[in-house]
Amino acid sequence: MLFKRPFAALGAAIVLLLVGTTMPGSLKAEIEGQLWSAWPWSASAHFVMFAVIAAIPAYGAGRWWPARVLALAIGLALLTETLQSFVPGRHPLLRDGLIDLAGTATGLLATFVWARTLTSH
């Protein structure tokens, strides 16, 4: 099993997401300035974090687990974008919310493909 403690992994991923999305704009710019500036680091981080959150197996079984993943992703996207409106140098962006949902869809698709691969062998 990839995650022995899925709720701990999910909690850690959410904490990391909240820390990253609420850091002041000046700190974010400083960190991004140290990295390759041609790459959209913030958008990539949003995408990857939401894909990881979607892929962590902490949502239960049955046919409704994808809906639970999507509900959590929408809630987290709304929360993180709202929180950014209170952080100096940060602004909520619809684009970031859409990137979050694209990451969620990718994480769900990867989970479906992986589960299918495991059951076909």
Predicted local confidence at residue 6, as pLDDT: 79
Output the pLDDT for position 121: 66
- pLDDT band with cut points at 50, 70 and 90 for residue 3: low
| Mean pLDDT on 24-40 | 77
Q: Which residue has the tokens 């680091």?
A: 41
> How much is the pLDDT for 48?
93
pLDDT band at residue 23 using 50, 70 and 90 as cut-offs: confident
Q: Are 102 and 43 in contact (CB under 8 A)?
A: no
Q: What is the pLDDT of residue 4?
A: 74
- pLDDT computed for residue 40 by the predictor: 78
Burial class (CB in 10 A: 0-12, 13-18, 19+), 22: middle
Amino acid 55 reads: A
Distance separating alpha carbons of residues 73 and 68, to the nearest angstrom: 9
Residue 82's pLDDT is what? 95
| Type of residue at 100 | D
Residues in the chain: 121
Q: What token pair was written down for 121?
A: 């062998």
The domain limits of the chain are 6-120
